[in-house]
Structure 1
Amino acid sequence: MRLERWILGITIGITTALALCLPVHTQAAGTLEKIQASKTILLGYRETSIPFSYTGDDNQPWGYSVDLCTKVAAAIVKQLGLQELQLQWVPVTPETRIAKLNSGAIDLECGSTTSTLSRMEEVDFSLLIFIDGGSYLTRRAAGIKRFEDLAGKRIAVAAGTTSERTMVDALMQHKVVADLVKVSDHQQGMAAMAKGKVDAYASDRSLLIGLALDSGNQNDWVLGPETFSYEPYALMMRRNDADFRLAVNRELARLSRSREIHAIHDRWFGLLGKPGPRLESLYFLNGLPE
């Protein structure tokens, strides 16, 4: 009996000591609590990702993803019972968006970010909002008509994007040797191509179409016929904040169920026609019931 009591006493002592040594983790306030306290939501946007997220002539954010985030913000106002909510727009780049999100500089990223498993190690994503694919844009005068014509050429890619990796994979798959030139954003890539410093700019097809249309000289550009990657876009947020993610997804699902998402799509992609089969399927599947 004495032995049993002695062992029990030692066990309790060790357990207590371990408990005292373990660090105490206090759960940080969630994004919804942060928004409610500050009456402000910090929304990250891209300055040149036409037509998803860009700075308009009035120096205000515009685009498909910007519209979606504005809808999300309105839904959060209703959910939290706020009288008002300030939308503070913060510019981000492919290289700063994750850091700004995790530092608290933004609460939600409203751009053209591909949802990937590797990024999920650092951040969380909403329901998918768009499906795109990687391609390339060239000057018509360059005479580049197919992927193999890129051999020996200089191809610009925006640093920190999935296009940077998928273009490398595509070159290897097609056994094409070319020089990749990293640029900071879409605007710099287009400027480099216009000045003849590079022969092509690689990005997602919808973005390339938007850049060509916005250039004012769309006939000067040719979009490559190939699509060499799968780019599922989503809104990006901090990890492990289930309540905020639910609030975002609840509004995205409502937009799909009510078909309001089609009006938003037509506003920004109407010149390209109705949503294709893949995107139409995405909108249907996003219409989760309450």
Structure 2
Amino acid sequence: MQATSLLSTLVLTASLAAALPAGADTLQKIAESGQITLAYRESSVPFSYLAAGSTPEGFSVDIANAVADAVKKQLKKPDLKVALQAVTSQNRIPLLQNGTIDLECGSTTNNTVRGKDVQFAINHFYTGTRLLVKKASGIKNYADLAKKNVASTTGTTNAQVIRKYNLEKNLGMDIQLGKDHDDAMLLVDSGRAVAFAMDDILLFGLIANAKNPAEWEVVGDSLQVEPYACMLRKDDPQFQQLVNGVIGGMVKSGQFEKLYTKWFISPIPPRGQNLNLPMSKELRDNLKALSDKPTV
């Protein structure tokens, strides 16, 4: 990026941040602008992704759309515009903080570090870091990665987890980062890396949408169990109450379980693959607790 372009971007970001101070009222912002902006991911299958065309689909997208419907009702604005904004692992938090987006429901881990900058809603999924490899590679666990190139995605907790593991075990891996999950998978597909370290559910989703799913497999121990949650601006209890009310209402009505069945144990677009992933004990427990407890 040229210096003038970078300067323009920084000025724009600073002006947006100044226009949206900490503790800003999201519902007031939405009412005044006549628009709610929902973030989406392009390749976080089956949470938020572009299956066919430009309209995002997925489990988290359905949750975000339910929140938008609740906002319309609370503000008594049935014609409220719902805008969509693509985000990446790297820019999702800054775009939320500066007011570009109002809600991010994708595949974002709720942890204590991020909790200093943003607020999380009720946890809606639990996952852990594992490895995506070509079956022909012969790689079965982390010890097989010694002195090899390993991919992950920029701005993710998984990149931090695999770096830490690499140092603790002195494996001498060369960690290479893709800008998104598709890009990181391409590093493996092209032979530039032998494995892709990421949340196991996202890896299963990537296999489901791969050109040749039978070539791939998910291997390795789960390094760390982490919760996913929708992300909103910090110090905005009114909007947090609305979002949690939507998720809690979906749980109590049975709609949450129906959504889970739709995206995790049924054929999903675009190839009609079934992830066949029953609900974990951690998630079932949280459907009773309705907790937003982060991982460390």
Q: TM-score range by the shorter chain?
A: 0.7 to 0.9
1:147 corresponds to 2:151: no
Return the letter of the residue paired with 2:287.
Y
Q: Classify 1:142/1:80 alpha carbon distance in 2 versus 1 (closer, same or farther; 3 Å).
A: same
Aligned amino acid, residue 274 of structure 1: P
Shift of 1:78: 1.5
Change (3 A) 1:145 1:248: same
CA–CA distance in structure 2, aligned partners of residues 97 and 265 of structure 1: 24
TM-fit CA distance, 1:276: 2.1
Cα displacement (A) at 1:38: 2.2
AA matched with 2:204 = I
1:179 pairs with 2:183: no
User: What is the identity percentage for the equivalent residue pairs of Structure 1 and Structure 2?
Assistant: 34
Q: Is the 8 A contact 2:123 2:291 kept in 1?
A: no
Q: CA deviation at 1:229?
A: 1.1
Q: 156-165 or 215-224: which moved more?
A: 215-224
Give the superposition deviation at 1:47: 0.7
Q: Residues 95-120 of structure 1: CA distance to partner in whole angstroms, max 9, x if unpaired?
A: 11111111110000121000111111
Alpha-carbon contact 1:257-1:284 (below 8 Å) kept: no
The answer as to 2:224 corresponding to 1:220 is no
Mapping 1:62-73, distance limit 5 Å: 62-73=57-68
Deviation of the 1:176 alpha carbon: 2.5
1:138 and 1:114 mapped to 2: Cα distance?
Answer: 23
Shift of residue 273, structure 1, vs aligned partner: 4.1
Structure 2 residue 87 is matched with structure 1 residue 101: no
Measured in 2, the distance between the counterparts of 1:112 and 1:27 equals: 24
TM-score, length of structure 1 as denominator length: 0.86
The 1:226–1:28 alpha-carbon spacing in structure 2 relative to 1, beyond 3 Å, is closer
Contact 1:257 1:287 in 2 (8 A): no
The residue type equivalent to 2:71 in the other structure is I
Aligned equivalents of 1:143 and 1:176: distance in 2? 17
Match of 1:53 among 48, 51, 70: 48
Aligned to 1:3: none
SS at the partner of 2:115?
helix
Query: Aligned to 2:172, what secondary structure does the other structure show?
Result: coil
Larger Cα Rg: Structure 1 or Structure 2? 1
1:148: how far off?
1.0
Which of 195, 199, 202 is residue 200 of structure 1 equivalent to?
195
Q: Aligned pairs, how many?
A: 263
- Runs of 5+ unmatched residues, structure 2: 1-20, 266-273
- Report the TM-score, using the length of structure 2 for normalisation: 0.85
